[in-house]
DNA sequence: CACTATTTGTCCGTATGTATG
DNA sequence: TCATACATACGGACAAATAGT
């Protein structure tokens, strides 16, 4: 059990639960997958045997085997009879990132480097909390757009859902896929002059998970962005969810900035 | 089915999967729970009936009922015979947050408002990947500190693990709990002049989960901060993990900043 | 007051998935 | 591979509480 104890702490070995909704074999799969994708277990690193997993996690050998089979079907490990399984995957280099400071200076660049697909666009009554934030009255409809962003290789990394008020024309799926939404807002008389953003983490819903090639419940980086025009009116409410392995936010601060 | 279509998009209604590891009733539970916790469904808002959920999501009424029963056992909704179920929960106000711009101007304030407890402090050889980032040679020891931050009510919301080089004196648990680490670094001849931060999401490890009162695998907001001194030397490597319900990052940008 | 439609609560039987030894 | 136990999911049926006519 030497290999096993090098990989997992005693607390982790006791962390599998049968009272929750996720099957044991899938919890084991998730633990090992995280180690491999994060590079803690490098390529060709030896993995625990089914017997070690069975004893260490206190599960049956069949259950341990199912978890390992999932990893093998992902191509993350190699299994052969009589041999200890080993890691077949090597984590990639860098993910796309969006700098937080001087951010919009890079948003244009980002929209050139990546592609957006609009999944749904309609004019509808927003849910009460969104209406309250936007300050629209009870029967005012706003533009609701759901879209996914792909990197240059066509791999999805971000899910967006936005609510936008005060738009009379030009808010079509085609326009949103090809231009920046801020330009369309400006053409409708709303120049964005102030932005507020909140960053947090959340669990992926089944829908977001499917679109971003994650599993439901996996962590996602979330961003809520409020965009205000020159009159201080909230024009646009954007909710983003990012694939954590494919995107992150970066910020640089110099002493002048943060000591000001 | 009026209520149901006000809450879910057609894509969401078709998003439940039986091929994944999460049971249908738990996927439904997750979807509704998110709507309630985020405030989309406000207190006393009418919920879909079991029959509506069954038809809309194309699941059996029993399965819809199980999802609703889970919400009821969480105290999030109220169910009574003959009556449509309704929301019983009202989302709380605000969590502590750290503004990203002008950030260090508020870090001092934050350290007054909150408390830190050092769990572990030692001088040790860093793991290879940390040593590579710091640029230390193979046998150079650095200060390693693990700590948890609590809000004014004594509720934990952040886990920190840091690696710091070039410190000769003053790096004790007491000093770190009472002062800012940047001040101690400055006293050792390393004035921090530049910071780089990466924000992302990850799964809580069992240790972090226990310290932050989460479950292992729950999403956490992560921050990696590299602090450089005036010579461009990386002095401090900090890894933070935040409880997503108790903390978030906020940033404000004005047009002058982001159009520069 | 009864009558009815609505909605949730409970139970049955069956098929499949999960986990054990 | 087998036998066993329990969880998940389905459809159907009926009972019990609620609200409106």
A 122-181 residues inside an 8 A Cβ radius of B: 125, 127-130, 146
Determine the residue of chain B that is closest to A214 in CA distance.
B20
Q: Give me the pLDDT at residue B62, please.
A: 94
Q: Is the CB of B26 under 7 A from strand D?
A: yes
The larger pLDDT score, comparing residue A222 to residue A106, is at A222
- Is the distance from CB of A122 to CB of A146 less than 8 angstroms? no
Find the mean pLDDT for residues B159-188: 90
**pLDDT bucket at B257, cuts 50 / 70 / 90:** very low
Whole-number distance in Å between A55 CA and C21 C1': 14
CB–CB of B102 and A251 under 8 A? Answer: no
| pLDDT per residue as tens digits for the range B78-92 | 999 999 999 998 876
What residues in A contact B11, CB-CB < 8 Å?
119-120, 146, 207
Residue A217 to residue A231: CA distance in whole angstroms: 40
Whole-number distance in Å between A215 CA and D5 C1': 29
Q: Give me the pLDDT at residue A155, please.
A: 82
E strand intervals along A138-231: 142-150, 156-164, 192-203, 219-229
Residues facing residue B87 across a β-bridge: B77
Q: Is residue A198 pLDDT above 90, yes or no?
A: no
The larger pLDDT score, comparing residue A255 to residue A150, is at A150
Q: Is the CB of B65 under 7 A from strand D?
A: no
Q: Is the CB of B18 under 7 A from strand D?
A: yes
Q: Give me the pLDDT at residue B250, please.
A: 79
Q: Give me the pLDDT at residue B258, please.
A: 45
Determine the residue of chain A that is closest to B216 in CA distance.
A15
Q: Give me the pLDDT at residue A114, please.
A: 82
Helix (H, G, I), strand (E, B) or coil at B52: helix
Mean of pLDDT over chain B: 85
Phi and psi of B10, rounded to 5°? -55, -40
Find the mean pLDDT for residues B231-260: 78
Residues facing residue A253 across a β-bridge: B195
Residue B60 to residue B63: CA distance in whole angstroms: 5
The larger pLDDT score, comparing residue B64 to residue A35, is at B64
Find the mean pLDDT for residues A7-26: 83
Residue B92 to residue B85: CA distance in whole angstroms: 21
What residues in A contact B15, CB-CB < 8 Å?
205-207, 210
Q: Is residue A171 pLDDT above 70, yes or no?
A: yes
**pLDDT bucket at A161, cuts 50 / 70 / 90:** very high
Q: Give me the pLDDT at residue A250, please.
A: 78
Q: Give me the pLDDT at residue A175, please.
A: 92
Q: Is the CB of A25 under 7 A from strand C?
A: yes
Q: Give me the pLDDT at residue A82, please.
A: 80
Q: Does B225 touch chain A (CB under 8 A)?
A: no
pTM over 0.85: no
Q: Give me the pLDDT at residue B259, please.
A: 41
| pLDDT per residue as tens digits for the range A33-64 | 878 876 778 888 889 989 899 998 999 999 99
- A93-97, B119-123, B213-217: which is most confident: B119-123
Q: Give me the pLDDT at residue B95, please.
A: 59
User: For A207, which of B12, B218, B247 is closest by C-beta distance?
Assistant: B12
**Token pair in block for residue B111:** 């350290």
List for chain B the helix, strand, coil content (%; round to 5). 35, 30, 35
For chain B, where are the alpha helices, taking DSSP H only? 2-7, 10-13, 24-37, 50-57, 61-73, 103-113, 128-134, 173-178, 181-187, 206-211, 255-259
**pLDDT bucket at B145, cuts 50 / 70 / 90:** very high
Q: Is residue A256 pLDDT above 60, yes or no?
A: no
Q: Is residue A202 pLDDT above 90, yes or no?
A: yes
Find the mean pLDDT for residues B60-85: 92
Whole-Å CA distances, B54 to A100, B28, B33: 43, 11, 17
* Distance of residue B81 Cα from the nearest chain A Cα, in angstroms: 27
Percentage of chain A lying above the pLDDT 90 cut: 29
Residue B33 to residue B47: CA distance in whole angstroms: 12
**Token pair in block for residue A140:** 């005012």
Q: Is the CB of B104 under 7 A from strand C?
A: no
Residue B16 to residue B8: CA distance in whole angstroms: 12
Mean of pLDDT over chain A: 84
Q: Give me the pLDDT at residue A102, please.
A: 53
Q: Which nucleotide is nearest to B80 (CA to C1')?
A: C8
User: For B207, which of A9, A129, A202 is closest by C-beta distance?
Assistant: A9
Q: Is the CB of B165 under 7 A from strand C?
A: no
Find the mean pLDDT for residues B19-33: 90
């Amino acid at each position: 059990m030497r290999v096993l104890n090098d990989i997992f702490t005693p607390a982790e070995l006791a962390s599998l639960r049968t009272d929750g909704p996720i099957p044991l074999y899938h919890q084991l799969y998730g633990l090992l997958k995280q180690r491999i994708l994060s590079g803690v277990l490098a390529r060709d690193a030896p993995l625990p045997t089914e017997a070690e997993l069975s004893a260490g996690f206190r599960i049956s050998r069949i259950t341990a085997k199912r978890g390992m089979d999932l990893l093998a079907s992902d191509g993350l490990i190699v299994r052969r009879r009589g041999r200890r399984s080993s890691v077949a995957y090597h984590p990639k280099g860098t993910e796309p990132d969006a700098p937080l400071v001087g951010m919009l200076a890079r948003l244009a660049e980002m929209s050139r480097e990546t592609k957006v697909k609009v999944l749904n666009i309609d004019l509808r009554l927003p849910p009460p909390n969104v209406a309250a934030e936007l300050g629209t009255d009870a029967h005012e409809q706003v533009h609701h757009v759901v879209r996914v962003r792909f990197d240059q290789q066509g791999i999805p990394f971000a899910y967006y859902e936005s609510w936008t008020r005060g738009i009379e024309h030009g808010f079509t799926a085609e326009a949103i896929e090809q231009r920046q939404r801020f330009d369309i807002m400006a053409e409708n008389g709303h120049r964005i002059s102030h932005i507020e953003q909140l960053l947090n983490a959340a669990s992926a819903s089944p829908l977001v998970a499917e679109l971003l090639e994650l599993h439901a419940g996996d962590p996602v980086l979330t961003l809520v962005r409020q965009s205000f025009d020159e009159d201080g009116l909230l024009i646009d409410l954007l909710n983003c969810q990012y694939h954590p392995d494919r995107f992150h936010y970066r910020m640089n601060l110099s002493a002048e900035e943060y000591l000001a």
